[in-house]
Chain A
Amino acid sequence: MIEATLRLPRGAFTLDVALALPARGVSALFGPSGCGKTTLLRCLAGLERAPGGRVVVDGQTWQDDAANLFVPTHRRAVGVVFQEASLFEHLDVRANVEFGWKRLAPSQRRVSVDDAIAWTGIEPLLQRSTAGLSGGERQRVAIARALAVSPRVLLMDEPLAALDAARKAEILPAIERLNELSGITIVYVSHAISEVARLADHVVLMDAGKALAAGAVGDLLSRLDLPLPPGEDAGVVLRGEVGALDAPWHMARLDVPGASFWTRDPGLPVGHRIRLRVLARDVSLSLVEQPGSSIVNQIPATVDAIADDAHPSQVLVRVRTHGGSGEDTSALLARVTRRSAQALALAPGLGVWAMVKSVALLD
């Protein structure tokens, strides 16, 4: 567990959180810019001190002001990746990666320099000076450098925010694999829901210095009672596996609890674990199945809840798919016009067909 109780006034807001994050997988601190995510991360790293605070990571107490204990940053088993790579310009790439590793006692070196280099794919850069690297390359070196100190938790502060879309696309898969490859717990700060949907297992939603809600990514993003970014980005994250392939048509069936989606073949074997994102704008609702439609993914479901969307003409509808047995269901969000909702008499408990136009395979 990562437990933190922190309170720190910060101009526009007061950071005031009591966090409990799982000490495995990827946890995202998600919220708008200036909501205190970065301050929280800096407190976890010991770069800032919230008076009276408490930080316990994996059973190690890093801060407990009640006992007058504050472990300085350089004695915490923490890795930090900042928004800008902040490489040491006077060292080449390899020396940057080895900087922290060299300062560990040999018994503490659970991650080798070679592992850190391999996981981030920076072998071709090792002899280069830091000056000629692209933004994406710099960030990968920064990640390798942080991994090489064998941290109990890797804190990443919007590591993609300063990169353009092409560089993001280059580095996201590397971050995605990181937790799986290294087994290192990651706390990832972001204001981009697409990154959170793709990377996070556990999400803490923050606003104005407070943690509004926390939970598994699938549960949290399907909630309608939270100030999640509405509009284009509303959607759910589902986890499952490749269920079947239809080779002649280059299609694959992706199975999640209580639903299956046919989609174009991603080239993955049957049984491969996958993560899907289904955006509310890609889901419409029908009272009856539509055999004469090009939409192949028509999923029987029951309306669960209805909430306002960003625009007054629209509502977000949460439906639960009909699982084969008991709890085995998934939630989907559908965006429909208020007029349609009225015409269809949508209300909790009503049986509907969710017409899913497209799903995005995230990993």
Chain B
Amino acid sequence: MDAEFAADLQAVALTLKLAFVVTGLLLALGTPLAWWLAHTRSRWKAPLAAVIALPLVLPPTVLGFYLLMLMGPHGWVGEATQALGIGLLPFSFAGLVVASMLYSMPFVVQPLQTAFEAVGARPLEAAATLRAGPWDRFAHVALPLARRGAITAAVLGFAHTVGEFGVVLMIGGNIPGATRVISTQLYNHVEALEYPAAHRLAALLLVFSFAVLLGVYRLGPRGAAVASPTADGAPRP
């Protein structure tokens, strides 16, 4: 029982670590991507948006399978990582991060893109006439005005990463401490007919997911404004 509980805790800790790392990387990568999608008139906009949205409709196993091929010893990515001395990504935490990023990307990019589109060009033009350069406009006008989308993106990206299973199983396997997350640990419990333990993890995920969604829906346009920082980063009086 104690050993089983310790294994559960290890899975929870790994899941949280994975979700934080993936969310952080996705915000860093997804923000410029969403900005570009919101403002470009390039003919590559539609194809790229479609690629980003693929995980929404594909079975995770399909994505996981192709990633396994790509990152395996004979895939392009696998050959590249080996040549760089990183080794192979599948069945490692790094591989899990890469796969999770692709899988959760639409949940981060789409809310951000919608928010940037809603801000529109005019506030940025006004800021330009008020001596704000491009980065200044982005940081102090576009981002604060799009903050609701940014918060939604972070929360959904985090929650979706916590809850994934198929891709993890394909890419990560089920290695304790390295790639065994809550959902795979839950799977192990069920396979072993340890239903009380399975209940514990399942209920945890259920409550967590509900709380996250409740938070997102509570975060109405008005609700988000209450806790908004000013352009200086100082709290609103």
Contacts and interface: CB of A to CB of B under 8 A. Distances in A.
Interface in A89-111: 89-92, 95, 99-100, 103-104
Contacts, number: 75
B136 interface: yes
Contact of A91 (B129, B136, B147, B231): B231
Nearest to B141: A88
A74 B132 contact: yes
B129 A99 contact: no
B129 A146 contact: yes
Contacts of B131: 74-75, 100, 103-104, 149
Contact of A86 (B123, B136, B147, B228): B123
A90 B126 CA distance: 14
Contacts of A146: 129-130
Contact of B132 (A79, A82, A95, A103): A103
Contacts of A99: 127, 130, 132, 231
Interface string B104-136: 000000000000000000110111111111001
A146 B130 CA distance: 7
A349 interface: no
Given A78-B129, A100-B131, A146-B129, A95 B122 contact: no
A286 interface: no
B36 to A, nearest CB: 20
Contacts of A95: 230-231
B144 interface: yes
B153 to A, nearest CB: 17
B208 to A, nearest CB: 30
A88 B145 contact: yes
Contacts of B129: 45, 47, 73-74, 78-80, 100, 146, 149
Interface string A191-226: 000000000000000000000000000000000000
A90 B145 contact: yes
B125 A90 contact: no
A80 B131 CA distance: 11
A88 B141 CA distance: 7
A84 interface: yes
Interface residues on A, range: 20 to 34
Contact of A88 (B123, B128, B237): B123
A86 B126 contact: yes
A54 interface: no
Contacts of B141: 88
Nearest to A78: B129
A145 interface: yes
A72 interface: yes
Nearest to B234: A95
A104 B136 CA distance: 13
A91 B230 contact: yes
A45 B125 CA distance: 10
Given A86-B122, A89-B145, A74 B128 contact: yes
Contact of B128 (A73, A89, A90, A127): A73
A127 B127 CA distance: 21
Interface in A318-340: none
Contacts of B127: 74, 88, 99
A310 B58 CA distance: 68
Interface string B208-237: 000000000000000001001011000011
Given A90-B231, A95-B230, A103 B145 contact: no
Nearest to A146: B129
B214 to A, nearest CB: 25
A88 B136 contact: no
A83 to B, nearest CB: 10
Interface of B: 122-123, 125-133, 136-137, 141, 144-145, 147, 225, 228, 230-231, 236-237
20 contacts: A47-B125, A73-B125, A73-B129, A74-B130, A78-B129, A80-B125, A82-B125, A82-B126, A88-B123, A88-B126, A90-B147, A90-B228, A91-B230, A92-B236, A99-B127, A99-B132, A100-B131, A100-B132, A104-B131, A149-B129
Interface of A: 45-47, 72-75, 78-80, 82, 84, 86, 88-92, 95, 99-100, 103-104, 127, 145-146, 149
| Top 5 closest pairs, chain A to chain B, by CB | A100-B130, A103-B131, A73-B128, A80-B129, A90-B144
Given A74-B131, A86-B125, 12 more contacts: A72-B128, A72-B133, A74-B137, A75-B131, A86-B122, A88-B127, A88-B144, A90-B147, A90-B225, A91-B231, A100-B130, A145-B130
